[in-house]
Structure 1
Amino acid sequence: MATLWTAPEAVRPVDRPALAGSPDVAAWIAGMDRDQRVGDCVLTQLLLGEPVRVIETRPDGWVRAVALGQPAAKLGTDGYPGWLRAAHLADADPAADGPLTVDAARTALRAGSEGDAALTGVVLGTRLTPAGPAVDGRRPVRVPGRPDPLWAPEDDLVPLPAERPEAEKVLAVAERLRDLAYVWGGMSTDGIDCSGLVHLAWRRYGITLPRDADDQAAATSQVPLDSERPGDLYFFARPGRRIHHVGIVSAEPHGGRRRMLHACYLTRRVIEEELPADRRATLVGAHRV
């Protein structure tokens, strides 16, 4: 994982593990307290092999770049702009956006079929390209910046579906992330935010949604309340304000009562719950992908 920051000057001492040449996102999140996990210095995160376009390079090792796989209509036509460490980039590999996706919460890629771990923390939704047949339960895959293939556990990889998935299958992926830590801008199985949960769950099936909740609302189709189905989305906004939160419908509505799975800012976890009063008061619609 690489992290996209608002500005080089915005990073904090606690962010050091995420800035290392080989980022340790799990240690970074574990080292933050409840309030530090919602600091506004983080914009989003990028998975292994995710394409970016560099638009500015600084001599101090920072680059301004656009995350091409994370649409953000209000910020730019090409993708999500922000700042990355130059050490977290590799030359583009046209085959990186491959036909396999990581289905495990996290996995490790090894230097050989029986070698030591070369890359740890490769997370759910990462796209990989096979580089040969499996050997003893491991499959060689291409990785940007690596001249030789690395080896992934074959059981942690699945082919991308040829057809659009049913929304309930996407919900099932998100349900596997229950109790995950809430991290502002997070988009991994180490920590995630509300729109990141939606984006990542659909990405697992090869579907690209915008990164932020308001853009996700604009990119999906509104359905009448009480006609929503599990896997649809609930959006929330305060009067006169833009959409600030999204959750995944987790059950059919019943008697005016609604349930959702969401990365909750208040509890700082991914939870499934009946909409409490404050959520009901700010619910602005249900949408379908």
Structure 2
Amino acid sequence: MELEPGREAVVRVAVATLWTSPEAVRPVDQPALTARADIPTWISGLDTDQQVGDCVLSQLLLGERVLVSELRPDGWARVVAVEQPAAKLDPRGYPGWLPADQLAPVDPAVTGRPLVVDATVTGLRATPNGPVVLPGVVVGTRLVPAGPARDGWQPVHVPGQAAPLWLPDGQLSSAPAEPPNAADALVVAQRLLHVVYVWGGLSAYGIDCSGLVHLAWRRFGVLLPRDADDQAQATTPLPLGDERPGDLYFFARPGRKIHHIGIVTAVPGDHENRRMLHACYRRRRVVEEPLPAERTATLVGAHRV
């Protein structure tokens, strides 16, 4: 099978980056463009200005579905990330570009209810406790079982791999039968404390503010929109003061659209002291802190998923 415009494909690398265009990539981005997509090396090579370059739109995780809309002779594919809602850009999902060799055709023989990776970062192995074949798989990745667990190891189907790969059974979780509560999502997000801020990032190697929220809920099978303003539309407003840990704070300047989001980490006190966990553009990392004065001045609401 080969990739075809108009048909779905799946991501075959641990983390693929979605770009605004092939021409927008920079020399420093080369590690993220290879057939193995070395995201840790890519991010470690970015300076603080490059971390917030507007060439990156989002990232996609291993096994994530896309709709291929164009294949270029130079090896680039224009796609729609159908598992990342982005209503204002495309009703089908988030549009952008990525290297075609980071995709694989959908295998119709791979069926079943996926398991979700719960480890912050893990590697998929050729055999139980064998050599790592695919490193850098991150929390929230969904993989279809390839048979029953054996001696504490679970085989999974992996796009682009002829044989199943293995990871510890304890690093996987079934999607919950009941909707998760906000506190559960907060616990996942807290594991990403101090992760580097990268505009468009959606992994445990680098992440942005709306990516942190999207990934935390994705771990439980809830696919929130990718961008903060769309996330506000998809969640339920609360009276300020009623928020609880795991709810969301949204921020906007007067007359402007929402530009930032954080996850509530404490019940507001008598003096409305508010705290949040967020991927901070200014500090270039994920932090947990009281709302600074400039954040309080632009706080426009609290919402619940």
Q: Same fold (TM over 0.5)?
A: yes
Normalised by the length of structure 1, the TM-score is 0.98
Q: Distance in 2 between matches of 1:232 and 1:242?
A: 20
Q: Distance in 2 between matches of 1:56 and 1:265?
A: 33
The runs of 5 or more residues in structure 2 that have no matched partner are 1-14
2:156 alignment partner in structure 1: 141
2:256 alignment partner in structure 1: 241
Q: Deviation digits for residues 171-230 of structure 1, max 9, x if unmatched?
A: 011011100100000000011000000000000000010000000001111111011111
Match of 2:276, SS? Answer: strand
1:99 alignment partner in structure 2: 114
Match of 2:104, SS? Answer: coil
Answer yes or no: is the 8 Å Cα contact 1:97–1:128 preserved in 2. Answer: no
Shift of 1:96: 6.7
| Pair 197,97 (structure 1): closer, same or farther in 2 beyond 3 Å | farther
Q: Deviation digits for residues 27-73 of structure 1, max 9, x if unmatched?
A: 10011111111110000000000000011111000011000000001
Residue among 82, 87, 96 paired with 1:82: 96
Shift of 1:136: 3.0
1:256 aligns with 2:272: yes
Residue among 183, 196, 213 paired with 1:181: 196
Shift of 1:97: 7.7
Answer yes or no: is the 8 Å Cα contact 1:237–1:283 preserved in 2. Answer: yes
Q: Distance in 1 between matches of 2:130 and 2:21?
A: 38
Normalised by the length of structure 2, the TM-score is 0.93
Q: What code does the residue aligned with 2:197 have?
A: Y
Answer yes or no: is the 8 Å Cα contact 1:234–1:283 preserved in 2. Answer: yes
Q: Distance in 2 between matches of 1:122 and 1:167?
A: 24
Residue among 260, 266, 287 paired with 1:271: 287
Which one is further off, 204-213 or 140-149?
140-149
Match of 1:112, SS? Answer: coil
Match of 1:151, SS? Answer: strand
1:2 alignment partner in structure 2: 16
The runs of 5 or more residues in structure 1 that have no matched partner are none
Q: What code does the residue aligned with 1:51 have?
A: R
Match of 2:150, SS? Answer: coil
Paired positions, count: 289
Q: Distance in 1 between matches of 2:29 and 2:113?
A: 31
Q: Distance in 2 between matches of 1:77 and 1:178?
A: 32
Match of 2:68, SS? Answer: strand
Alignment of 1:208-219 (within 5 A): 208-219=223-234
